[in-house]
Structure 1
Amino acid sequence: MSQPPTSSKETAPFFGGVTLAQYLTELAAKVPAPGGGAVAALHAAQGAALVAMVARYTTRAKDADHRPVIDRIIEAADAARDRALALADADAEAFTAVGAAYKLPKNTPEEVAERTEAIAAALIQAARVPAAVIDEADEILSLAAELLPIGNPNVVTDIGAAADAARAAATSSQLNIEINVASLSAAQGDRFAPMLIRVEEITARADGLHADVLHAVRG
Protein backbone atom coordinates (compact mmCIF):
# COMPACT_ATOMS: atom_id res chain seq x y z
CA MET A 1 0.00 0.00 0.00
CA SER A 2 1.02 3.59 -0.52
CA GLN A 3 2.36 5.34 2.52
CA PRO A 4 1.01 8.79 3.38
CA PRO A 5 3.03 11.39 1.47
CA THR A 6 5.68 12.84 3.73
CA SER A 7 5.14 16.25 5.21
CA SER A 8 7.34 19.11 4.16
CA LYS A 9 7.24 20.56 7.65
CA GLU A 10 6.56 19.49 11.18
CA THR A 11 2.85 19.76 11.90
CA ALA A 12 0.76 18.43 14.73
CA PRO A 13 -1.92 15.99 13.60
CA PHE A 14 -5.35 17.62 13.56
CA PHE A 15 -7.78 14.85 12.76
CA GLY A 16 -6.50 12.44 15.36
CA GLY A 17 -6.85 14.93 18.20
CA VAL A 18 -10.16 16.76 17.82
CA THR A 19 -13.74 15.89 18.63
CA LEU A 20 -16.20 15.14 15.86
CA ALA A 21 -18.01 18.38 16.65
CA GLN A 22 -14.78 20.38 16.29
CA TYR A 23 -13.99 18.69 13.00
CA LEU A 24 -17.43 19.45 11.59
CA THR A 25 -17.17 23.05 12.73
CA GLU A 26 -13.86 23.40 10.89
CA LEU A 27 -15.29 21.67 7.84
CA ALA A 28 -18.25 24.07 7.74
CA ALA A 29 -16.11 27.17 8.24
CA LYS A 30 -15.01 29.52 5.47
CA VAL A 31 -11.42 28.25 5.52
CA PRO A 32 -9.40 26.49 2.80
CA ALA A 33 -8.94 23.26 4.71
CA PRO A 34 -10.24 20.80 5.74
CA GLY A 35 -12.33 20.15 2.66
CA GLY A 36 -13.40 17.36 0.36
CA GLY A 37 -9.98 15.74 0.28
CA ALA A 38 -9.89 15.28 4.02
CA VAL A 39 -13.48 14.01 3.94
CA ALA A 40 -12.42 11.37 1.38
CA ALA A 41 -9.60 10.20 3.63
CA LEU A 42 -11.95 10.01 6.60
CA HIS A 43 -14.40 7.97 4.52
CA ALA A 44 -11.54 5.49 4.08
CA ALA A 45 -10.70 5.58 7.78
CA GLN A 46 -14.31 4.87 8.72
CA GLY A 47 -14.51 2.03 6.21
CA ALA A 48 -11.39 0.47 7.66
CA ALA A 49 -12.75 0.84 11.18
CA LEU A 50 -15.98 -0.90 10.20
CA VAL A 51 -14.08 -3.81 8.69
CA ALA A 52 -12.02 -4.14 11.86
CA MET A 53 -15.15 -4.02 14.01
CA VAL A 54 -16.90 -6.78 12.06
CA ALA A 55 -13.74 -8.87 12.18
CA ARG A 56 -13.52 -8.45 15.95
CA TYR A 57 -17.11 -9.65 16.23
CA THR A 58 -16.01 -12.75 14.31
CA THR A 59 -13.83 -14.17 17.06
CA ARG A 60 -16.40 -16.48 18.62
CA ALA A 61 -15.68 -20.12 19.38
CA LYS A 62 -17.57 -21.10 16.24
CA ASP A 63 -15.22 -18.90 14.19
CA ALA A 64 -12.07 -20.73 15.30
CA ASP A 65 -11.37 -22.20 11.86
CA HIS A 66 -11.20 -18.70 10.39
CA ARG A 67 -9.20 -17.10 13.21
CA PRO A 68 -5.89 -16.74 11.30
CA VAL A 69 -7.69 -14.93 8.47
CA ILE A 70 -9.69 -12.80 10.90
CA ASP A 71 -6.58 -11.80 12.82
CA ARG A 72 -4.87 -10.77 9.58
CA ILE A 73 -7.89 -8.73 8.52
CA ILE A 74 -7.99 -6.96 11.88
CA GLU A 75 -4.33 -6.05 11.66
CA ALA A 76 -4.63 -4.86 8.07
CA ALA A 77 -7.79 -2.85 8.70
CA ASP A 78 -6.33 -1.15 11.77
CA ALA A 79 -3.22 -0.21 9.76
CA ALA A 80 -5.37 1.13 6.91
CA ARG A 81 -7.36 3.23 9.37
CA ASP A 82 -4.17 4.80 10.73
CA ARG A 83 -2.85 5.54 7.24
CA ALA A 84 -6.14 7.06 6.14
CA LEU A 85 -6.29 9.28 9.21
CA ALA A 86 -2.77 10.51 8.46
CA LEU A 87 -3.83 11.20 4.86
CA ALA A 88 -6.60 13.50 6.10
CA ASP A 89 -3.92 15.67 7.71
CA ALA A 90 -1.70 15.35 4.64
CA ASP A 91 -4.51 16.55 2.39
CA ALA A 92 -5.17 19.63 4.50
CA GLU A 93 -1.47 20.48 4.44
CA ALA A 94 -1.18 19.88 0.70
CA PHE A 95 -4.15 22.12 -0.06
CA THR A 96 -2.68 24.86 2.11
CA ALA A 97 0.62 24.55 0.23
CA VAL A 98 -1.13 25.05 -3.11
CA GLY A 99 -2.64 28.29 -1.88
CA ALA A 100 0.74 29.47 -0.60
CA ALA A 101 2.38 28.70 -3.94
CA TYR A 102 -0.15 30.81 -5.83
CA LYS A 103 0.59 33.73 -3.49
CA LEU A 104 4.31 33.78 -4.30
CA PRO A 105 5.57 37.00 -5.92
CA LYS A 106 5.76 37.25 -9.71
CA ASN A 107 7.41 40.62 -10.26
CA THR A 108 10.46 39.38 -12.15
CA PRO A 109 11.07 36.57 -14.67
CA GLU A 110 12.97 34.70 -11.98
CA GLU A 111 10.09 35.01 -9.53
CA VAL A 112 7.63 33.92 -12.21
CA ALA A 113 9.70 30.83 -12.94
CA GLU A 114 10.06 29.97 -9.25
CA ARG A 115 6.36 30.49 -8.68
CA THR A 116 5.42 28.32 -11.64
CA GLU A 117 7.68 25.53 -10.40
CA ALA A 118 6.32 25.83 -6.86
CA ILE A 119 2.72 25.69 -8.06
CA ALA A 120 3.37 22.58 -10.13
CA ALA A 121 5.12 20.85 -7.23
CA ALA A 122 2.28 21.74 -4.85
CA LEU A 123 -0.38 20.55 -7.28
CA ILE A 124 1.41 17.24 -7.80
CA GLN A 125 1.60 16.73 -4.05
CA ALA A 126 -2.06 17.70 -3.73
CA ALA A 127 -2.91 14.98 -6.28
CA ARG A 128 -0.64 12.40 -4.67
CA VAL A 129 -2.60 12.50 -1.43
CA PRO A 130 -5.98 11.51 -2.91
CA ALA A 131 -4.16 8.94 -5.04
CA ALA A 132 -2.95 7.37 -1.79
CA VAL A 133 -6.51 7.50 -0.45
CA ILE A 134 -7.64 5.51 -3.49
CA ASP A 135 -5.02 2.90 -2.61
CA GLU A 136 -6.49 2.68 0.87
CA ALA A 137 -10.04 2.43 -0.49
CA ASP A 138 -8.95 -0.45 -2.69
CA GLU A 139 -7.36 -2.25 0.27
CA ILE A 140 -10.40 -1.72 2.49
CA LEU A 141 -12.74 -3.01 -0.17
CA SER A 142 -10.61 -6.13 -0.63
CA LEU A 143 -10.66 -6.78 3.11
CA ALA A 144 -14.43 -6.27 3.24
CA ALA A 145 -14.98 -8.71 0.38
CA GLU A 146 -12.76 -11.30 2.05
CA LEU A 147 -14.62 -10.86 5.33
CA LEU A 148 -18.15 -11.13 3.97
CA PRO A 149 -18.33 -14.94 3.58
CA ILE A 150 -16.93 -15.61 7.04
CA GLY A 151 -17.95 -12.55 9.04
CA ASN A 152 -20.43 -12.60 11.88
CA PRO A 153 -23.83 -12.40 10.12
CA ASN A 154 -25.24 -10.28 12.93
CA VAL A 155 -23.11 -7.35 11.73
CA VAL A 156 -23.09 -8.10 8.01
CA THR A 157 -24.61 -4.71 7.15
CA ASP A 158 -21.50 -3.04 8.51
CA ILE A 159 -19.51 -4.78 5.78
CA GLY A 160 -21.81 -3.11 3.27
CA ALA A 161 -21.34 0.21 5.02
CA ALA A 162 -17.57 -0.29 4.84
CA ALA A 163 -17.83 -0.92 1.10
CA ASP A 164 -19.93 2.23 0.68
CA ALA A 165 -17.38 4.24 2.66
CA ALA A 166 -14.54 2.90 0.51
CA ARG A 167 -16.49 3.78 -2.62
CA ALA A 168 -17.06 7.32 -1.40
CA ALA A 169 -13.38 7.64 -0.53
CA ALA A 170 -12.39 6.61 -4.04
CA THR A 171 -14.87 8.72 -5.97
CA SER A 172 -14.27 11.81 -3.84
CA SER A 173 -10.53 11.35 -4.32
CA GLN A 174 -11.08 11.10 -8.06
CA LEU A 175 -12.57 14.60 -8.00
CA ASN A 176 -9.62 15.96 -6.06
CA ILE A 177 -7.09 14.43 -8.42
CA GLU A 178 -8.96 15.77 -11.45
CA ILE A 179 -9.05 19.35 -10.14
CA ASN A 180 -5.34 19.35 -9.39
CA VAL A 181 -4.10 17.73 -12.60
CA ALA A 182 -6.27 20.10 -14.65
CA SER A 183 -3.73 22.83 -13.91
CA LEU A 184 -0.68 20.67 -14.67
CA SER A 185 0.97 19.93 -17.98
CA ALA A 186 -0.24 16.86 -19.85
CA ALA A 187 2.98 15.00 -19.05
CA GLN A 188 2.66 15.78 -15.34
CA GLY A 189 -1.02 14.88 -15.22
CA ASP A 190 -0.69 11.65 -17.18
CA ARG A 191 1.04 9.95 -14.26
CA PHE A 192 -2.29 9.95 -12.42
CA ALA A 193 -4.32 8.45 -15.30
CA PRO A 194 -3.94 4.82 -14.13
CA MET A 195 -5.19 5.78 -10.68
CA LEU A 196 -8.27 7.46 -12.13
CA ILE A 197 -9.03 4.36 -14.18
CA ARG A 198 -8.81 2.27 -11.01
CA VAL A 199 -11.65 4.29 -9.49
CA GLU A 200 -14.09 2.83 -12.01
CA GLU A 201 -13.08 -0.70 -11.02
CA ILE A 202 -13.27 0.12 -7.31
CA THR A 203 -16.72 1.60 -7.76
CA ALA A 204 -17.97 -1.51 -9.55
CA ARG A 205 -16.58 -3.78 -6.85
CA ALA A 206 -18.11 -1.67 -4.09
CA ASP A 207 -21.50 -1.70 -5.77
CA GLY A 208 -21.26 -5.47 -6.17
CA LEU A 209 -20.37 -5.96 -2.52
CA HIS A 210 -23.23 -3.70 -1.45
CA ALA A 211 -25.56 -5.86 -3.52
CA ASP A 212 -24.14 -9.03 -1.97
CA VAL A 213 -24.78 -7.69 1.51
CA LEU A 214 -28.34 -6.76 0.59
CA HIS A 215 -28.85 -10.27 -0.72
CA ALA A 216 -27.50 -11.70 2.53
CA VAL A 217 -29.85 -9.52 4.57
CA ARG A 218 -32.90 -10.29 2.49
CA GLY A 219 -32.13 -13.99 2.25
Structure 2
Amino acid sequence: MREQTIGRWLDDLASGAPAPGGGAVAAMHAAMGAGLVSMVCELTIGRPRYAQHEPTMREVLAQAGECRQRAIDLAEADALAFTGVTDAYRLPKATEEERTARSAAIQAALAQAADVPLRTAVLAAEILELARKIRPGANVNVLSDVAVAAVSARAAMQAAAVNVAVNRASMTDVVARARLETELARISDEVAAAEKFIEELA
Protein backbone atom coordinates (compact mmCIF):
# COMPACT_ATOMS: atom_id res chain seq x y z
CA MET A 1 0.00 0.00 0.00
CA ARG A 2 3.04 2.29 0.24
CA GLU A 3 2.93 2.61 -3.55
CA GLN A 4 -0.80 3.31 -3.76
CA THR A 5 -2.41 6.72 -4.02
CA ILE A 6 -4.91 7.58 -1.31
CA GLY A 7 -7.67 7.45 -3.90
CA ARG A 8 -6.73 3.94 -4.99
CA TRP A 9 -6.54 2.73 -1.40
CA LEU A 10 -9.97 4.19 -0.67
CA ASP A 11 -11.33 2.51 -3.78
CA ASP A 12 -9.98 -0.81 -2.50
CA LEU A 13 -11.49 -0.10 0.91
CA ALA A 14 -14.88 0.62 -0.62
CA SER A 15 -14.84 -2.47 -2.85
CA GLY A 16 -16.29 -5.87 -2.13
CA ALA A 17 -12.84 -7.23 -1.25
CA PRO A 18 -12.53 -8.24 2.41
CA ALA A 19 -9.23 -6.39 2.82
CA PRO A 20 -8.32 -3.65 3.49
CA GLY A 21 -10.91 -3.43 6.23
CA GLY A 22 -11.47 -2.05 9.68
CA GLY A 23 -8.09 -3.10 11.04
CA ALA A 24 -6.27 -1.29 8.26
CA VAL A 25 -8.43 1.78 8.85
CA ALA A 26 -7.44 1.72 12.51
CA ALA A 27 -3.78 1.67 11.54
CA MET A 28 -4.24 4.48 9.05
CA HIS A 29 -5.86 6.61 11.73
CA ALA A 30 -2.67 6.08 13.73
CA ALA A 31 -0.55 6.98 10.71
CA MET A 32 -2.46 10.22 10.19
CA GLY A 33 -2.13 11.10 13.86
CA ALA A 34 1.63 10.57 13.66
CA GLY A 35 1.74 12.64 10.48
CA LEU A 36 0.05 15.56 12.21
CA VAL A 37 2.46 15.34 15.13
CA SER A 38 5.31 15.56 12.62
CA MET A 39 3.70 18.54 10.91
CA VAL A 40 3.36 20.45 14.17
CA CYS A 41 7.02 19.78 14.96
CA GLU A 42 8.07 20.96 11.50
CA LEU A 43 6.07 24.17 11.90
CA THR A 44 7.60 24.84 15.31
CA ILE A 45 11.26 24.03 14.66
CA GLY A 46 13.35 27.02 13.55
CA ARG A 47 11.04 29.69 14.95
CA PRO A 48 12.78 31.91 17.53
CA ARG A 49 9.68 32.15 19.71
CA TYR A 50 9.86 28.39 20.34
CA ALA A 51 13.65 27.99 20.47
CA GLN A 52 13.65 26.51 23.97
CA HIS A 53 11.34 23.72 22.81
CA GLU A 54 13.33 22.83 19.70
CA PRO A 55 15.21 19.84 21.21
CA THR A 56 11.89 18.26 22.20
CA MET A 57 10.39 18.98 18.81
CA ARG A 58 13.31 17.42 16.97
CA GLU A 59 13.20 14.34 19.18
CA VAL A 60 9.46 13.92 18.72
CA LEU A 61 9.74 14.55 14.98
CA ALA A 62 12.02 11.52 14.63
CA GLN A 63 9.78 9.38 16.84
CA ALA A 64 6.62 10.41 14.98
CA GLY A 65 8.19 9.51 11.65
CA GLU A 66 9.00 6.06 12.97
CA CYS A 67 5.47 5.69 14.32
CA ARG A 68 4.00 6.61 10.96
CA GLN A 69 6.02 3.90 9.22
CA ARG A 70 5.04 1.33 11.84
CA ALA A 71 1.39 2.24 11.35
CA ILE A 72 1.62 1.63 7.61
CA ASP A 73 3.29 -1.71 8.30
CA LEU A 74 0.40 -2.61 10.61
CA ALA A 75 -2.17 -1.67 7.97
CA GLU A 76 -0.47 -4.10 5.61
CA ALA A 77 -0.12 -6.75 8.32
CA ASP A 78 -3.83 -6.53 9.09
CA ALA A 79 -4.76 -7.42 5.53
CA LEU A 80 -2.47 -10.45 5.67
CA ALA A 81 -3.85 -11.52 9.05
CA PHE A 82 -7.42 -11.32 7.82
CA THR A 83 -6.52 -13.37 4.77
CA GLY A 84 -5.05 -15.95 7.15
CA VAL A 85 -8.38 -16.26 8.93
CA THR A 86 -10.41 -16.63 5.74
CA ASP A 87 -7.93 -19.18 4.39
CA ALA A 88 -8.20 -21.20 7.62
CA TYR A 89 -11.99 -21.29 7.39
CA ARG A 90 -11.70 -22.64 3.85
CA LEU A 91 -9.65 -25.66 4.90
CA PRO A 92 -11.28 -29.05 4.30
CA LYS A 93 -13.38 -30.60 7.05
CA ALA A 94 -14.58 -33.89 5.62
CA THR A 95 -12.77 -36.10 8.15
CA GLU A 96 -12.17 -35.83 11.88
CA GLU A 97 -8.48 -35.29 11.24
CA GLU A 98 -9.23 -32.48 8.81
CA ARG A 99 -11.68 -30.89 11.25
CA THR A 100 -9.11 -30.97 14.03
CA ALA A 101 -6.44 -29.43 11.81
CA ARG A 102 -8.88 -26.81 10.53
CA SER A 103 -9.94 -25.84 14.04
CA ALA A 104 -6.33 -25.44 15.14
CA ALA A 105 -5.55 -23.34 12.07
CA ILE A 106 -8.55 -21.10 12.70
CA GLN A 107 -7.58 -20.50 16.31
CA ALA A 108 -3.99 -19.68 15.35
CA ALA A 109 -5.20 -17.29 12.65
CA LEU A 110 -7.63 -15.59 15.04
CA ALA A 111 -4.84 -15.06 17.55
CA GLN A 112 -2.73 -13.40 14.86
CA ALA A 113 -5.68 -11.35 13.66
CA ALA A 114 -6.24 -10.08 17.21
CA ASP A 115 -2.56 -9.33 17.72
CA VAL A 116 -2.28 -6.85 14.85
CA PRO A 117 -4.99 -4.42 16.07
CA LEU A 118 -3.65 -4.85 19.58
CA ARG A 119 -0.28 -3.60 18.36
CA THR A 120 -2.09 -0.78 16.55
CA ALA A 121 -3.71 0.31 19.81
CA VAL A 122 -0.35 0.28 21.57
CA LEU A 123 1.14 2.38 18.79
CA ALA A 124 -1.77 4.82 18.90
CA ALA A 125 -1.17 5.30 22.62
CA GLU A 126 2.46 6.15 21.84
CA ILE A 127 1.31 8.72 19.29
CA LEU A 128 -1.07 10.23 21.82
CA GLU A 129 1.85 10.56 24.24
CA LEU A 130 3.88 12.36 21.55
CA ALA A 131 1.00 14.80 21.07
CA ARG A 132 1.01 15.43 24.81
CA LYS A 133 4.76 15.94 24.77
CA ILE A 134 4.71 18.67 22.13
CA ARG A 135 1.61 20.46 23.39
CA PRO A 136 3.43 22.87 25.78
CA GLY A 137 5.87 24.14 23.17
CA ALA A 138 3.91 23.80 19.95
CA ASN A 139 3.43 26.66 17.53
CA VAL A 140 0.15 28.22 18.69
CA ASN A 141 -1.02 28.48 15.09
CA VAL A 142 -1.23 24.69 14.82
CA LEU A 143 -2.54 23.71 18.24
CA SER A 144 -5.72 22.54 16.55
CA ASP A 145 -3.59 20.01 14.68
CA VAL A 146 -2.26 18.67 17.98
CA ALA A 147 -5.90 18.12 18.94
CA VAL A 148 -6.69 16.39 15.65
CA ALA A 149 -3.62 14.18 16.09
CA ALA A 150 -5.06 13.12 19.45
CA VAL A 151 -8.49 12.57 17.88
CA SER A 152 -6.88 10.36 15.22
CA ALA A 153 -4.99 8.39 17.88
CA ARG A 154 -8.20 7.92 19.84
CA ALA A 155 -10.02 6.73 16.72
CA ALA A 156 -7.20 4.27 16.04
CA MET A 157 -7.50 2.85 19.56
CA GLN A 158 -11.28 2.57 19.41
CA ALA A 159 -11.26 0.94 15.98
CA ALA A 160 -8.48 -1.42 17.01
CA ALA A 161 -10.43 -2.43 20.12
CA VAL A 162 -13.42 -3.38 17.97
CA ASN A 163 -11.23 -5.67 15.90
CA VAL A 164 -9.59 -7.24 18.95
CA ALA A 165 -13.01 -7.92 20.47
CA VAL A 166 -14.39 -9.47 17.26
CA ASN A 167 -11.51 -11.92 16.98
CA ARG A 168 -11.56 -12.67 20.72
CA ALA A 169 -15.22 -13.66 20.49
CA SER A 170 -14.36 -16.61 18.24
CA MET A 171 -11.36 -17.80 20.22
CA THR A 172 -11.62 -20.89 22.41
CA ASP A 173 -8.38 -20.55 24.38
CA VAL A 174 -9.48 -19.36 27.83
CA VAL A 175 -6.08 -17.95 28.73
CA ALA A 176 -5.80 -16.03 25.47
CA ARG A 177 -9.32 -14.67 25.86
CA ALA A 178 -8.57 -13.49 29.38
CA ARG A 179 -5.37 -11.78 28.24
CA LEU A 180 -7.22 -9.95 25.47
CA GLU A 181 -9.96 -8.90 27.88
CA THR A 182 -7.26 -7.30 30.05
CA GLU A 183 -5.78 -5.58 27.02
CA LEU A 184 -9.20 -4.28 25.99
CA ALA A 185 -9.64 -2.75 29.44
CA ARG A 186 -6.25 -1.06 29.07
CA ILE A 187 -7.23 0.33 25.69
CA SER A 188 -10.43 1.68 27.20
CA ASP A 189 -8.36 3.53 29.80
CA GLU A 190 -6.15 4.97 27.05
CA VAL A 191 -9.22 6.14 25.12
CA ALA A 192 -10.50 7.90 28.24
CA ALA A 193 -7.11 9.60 28.66
CA ALA A 194 -7.21 10.69 25.03
CA GLU A 195 -10.68 12.16 25.45
CA LYS A 196 -9.52 14.15 28.47
CA PHE A 197 -6.54 15.53 26.55
CA ILE A 198 -8.74 16.47 23.59
CA GLU A 199 -11.15 18.30 25.90
CA GLU A 200 -8.25 20.27 27.36
CA LEU A 201 -7.26 21.40 23.86
CA ALA A 202 -10.78 22.35 22.78
Identity of aligned residues (%): 43
- Counterpart AA for 1:187: V
Whether the aligned pair in 2 keeps the contact of 1:134 and 1:195 (CA below 8 Å) is: no
The answer to whether 1:125 aligns with 2:112 is: yes
- Counterpart AA for 2:76: D
Q: Indicate the residue corresponding to 1:167 in structure 2.
A: 154
CA distance in 1 between partners of 2:79 and 2:33 (Å): 20
- Pick the aligned partner of 2:14 from 7, 28, 35: 28
Whether the aligned pair in 2 keeps the contact of 1:36 and 1:172 (CA below 8 Å) is: yes
1:59-112 Cα distance to aligned partner (Å, 9 max, x none): 112222122211110011111000001000000110011000000001111111
Q: Indicate the residue corresponding to 2:167 in structure 1.
A: 180
State TM-score, norm by structure 2. Answer: 0.96
Q: Indicate the residue corresponding to 1:91 in structure 2.
A: 78
CA distance in 2 between partners of 1:113 and 1:188 (Å): 19
Would you say how many aligned residue pairs link Structure 1 and Structure 2?
Answer: 200
Q: Indicate the residue corresponding to 1:110 in structure 2.
A: 97
Whether the aligned pair in 2 keeps the contact of 1:56 and 1:74 (CA below 8 Å) is: yes
CA distance in 2 between partners of 1:177 and 1:104 (Å): 23
- Structure 2 residue ranges without an equivalent (≥5): none
CA distance in 2 between partners of 1:25 and 1:103 (Å): 26
CA distance in 1 between partners of 2:43 and 2:33 (Å): 16
State TM-score, norm by structure 1. Answer: 0.89
The answer to whether 1:207 aligns with 2:192 is: no
Shift of 1:151: 0.5
* Aligned alpha-carbon RMSD (Å): 0.9
CA distance in 1 between partners of 2:145 and 2:75 (Å): 22
- Structure 1 residue ranges without an equivalent (≥5): 1-14, 215-219
- Counterpart AA for 1:211: E
Whether the aligned pair in 2 keeps the contact of 1:130 and 1:177 (CA below 8 Å) is: yes
- Counterpart AA for 1:48: A
- Counterpart AA for 2:176: Q
- Pick the aligned partner of 2:132 from 137, 145, 151: 145
Q: Indicate the residue corresponding to 1:100 in structure 2.
A: 87
1:10-63 Cα distance to aligned partner (Å, 9 max, x none): xxxxx2110111011111111110111100000000000000110111111222
CA distance in 1 between partners of 2:8 and 2:134 (Å): 33
Q: Which has the higher helix share?
A: 2
- Pick the aligned partner of 1:155 from 134, 142, 147: 142
CA distance in 2 between partners of 1:194 and 1:158 (Å): 32
CA distance in 2 between partners of 1:53 and 1:209 (Å): 19
After the TM superposition, which segments of 4 or more aligned residues of structure 1 sit over 3 Å from their partners? none
CA distance in 1 between partners of 2:177 and 2:42 (Å): 41
Show the 5 A alignment for 1:2-81.
15-59=1-45, 60-81=47-68
SS at match of 2:75: helix
SS at match of 2:16: coil
Q: Could you tell which deviates more after superposition, 110-119 or 38-47?
A: 110-119
1:95-134 Cα distance to aligned partner (Å, 9 max, x none): 0110000000011111111111100010000000000000
